[in-house]
Homo-oligomer: A and B are copies of this chain.
C-alpha cells in the first residue's frame, strides 16, 4: 500500500529530526497521493530511531485509517484539512521548532526582513487568530486547520508555504514531503534571524523593500527562475 510514498514520508520525518528542529517526538510529516486521495502520515508518539516505513499510517481525506496498525499522528486532522483546502500541495510538516514557536507564542507574524526569507516565502509568515472555546471543544485539530485556511483567504499557499498557529507552532507545506521539511527548516532559521534582528534594532525592524523581496522570490521560484542547475 503506497510503499514508495511511505518510504518518502519516513525519510522526510527522519530528515526533520536530523536537522535539529524536533525534540523527542514533537514533529510530524505527511504526504498525499492525489490520484487516490490517500495520505501517508507518521504514527503518534513513536520514537524516530526505531521508526520504519511499516509504521507509517495511511488515512483518507476524511481521516479514516485505511492501512497500518498504528494510530496516526495526533495532528492528522489538521493535515487533512490543509490537503482538502490547498489542492496544489503534496506534503505537510509540523514541528515545535524553538524560534518559530517563540513567534507563534508571541502571536506575531514574522515580517519579511531580508532575502533569506524572501527566497522561500513571498512576504511575511502569517499567524492565525486564536481559536474560540467552542471550536477547541468540538474538534480542536480540525479547527486548527480551519484557522490556517481562514488566515490564507487572499493568500497563495504556494507562494507562502508556511504559517504560525497562535500559541502553538508552525505548519509548513510544499510540493512533497521533502519540500515541506525543507520549508520547516528554513522557517526556523528565518524566525531565529528575525528574533536577533529585533534584539539588534528594536521591536519593529524595517521590512525588506517589496521590489527586492519580489526579485529574490522570483529568482528561485518564479516562472523564469534561474537559481540552481535546472
Q: Which residues of A approach B to under 8 Å, CB–CB?
A: 23-24, 26, 43-46, 70-71, 74, 96, 98-99, 101-108, 113-116, 130-131, 133, 136-137, 140, 167-169, 182, 185-186, 189, 192-203, 205-206, 208-209, 211-212, 215, 219, 226-229
State whether A193 touches B107 (Cβ < 8 A).
no
CA distance A212 to B115 in the complex (A): 35
Q: A-B pairs with the 4 shortest C-beta distances? A: A45-B228, A102-B196, A106-B201, A106-B200
Known A45-B229, A168-B115; judge A102-B197 contact (CB<8 A).
yes
State whether A193 touches B101 (Cβ < 8 A).
yes
CA distance A3 to B174 in the complex (A): 39
Residues of B within 8 A of A200 (CB): 102-103, 106, 108, 194-195, 198
CA distance A137 to B103 in the complex (A): 33
CA distance A140 to B208 in the complex (A): 15
State whether B101 touches A209 (Cβ < 8 A).
no
State whether A114 touches B167 (Cβ < 8 A).
yes
CA distance A72 to B227 in the complex (A): 10
Q: How many copies does the complex hold?
A: 4
State whether B74 touches A106 (Cβ < 8 A).
no
A-B contact pairs, 29 of them (CB 8 A): A23-B185, A24-B186, A45-B227, A70-B229, A74-B219, A98-B189, A98-B193, A102-B193, A102-B200, A105-B194, A105-B201, A105-B205, A106-B197, A106-B201, A106-B205, A108-B200, A108-B201, A114-B167, A114-B169, A116-B169, A130-B209, A131-B212, A136-B209, A136-B212, A136-B215, A137-B215, A167-B208, A195-B199, A202-B203
CA distance A108 to B140 in the complex (A): 31
CA distance A202 to B71 in the complex (A): 40
CA distance A202 to B206 in the complex (A): 18
CA distance A115 to B26 in the complex (A): 11
How close is A139's CB to chain B, nearest CB, in angstroms?
11
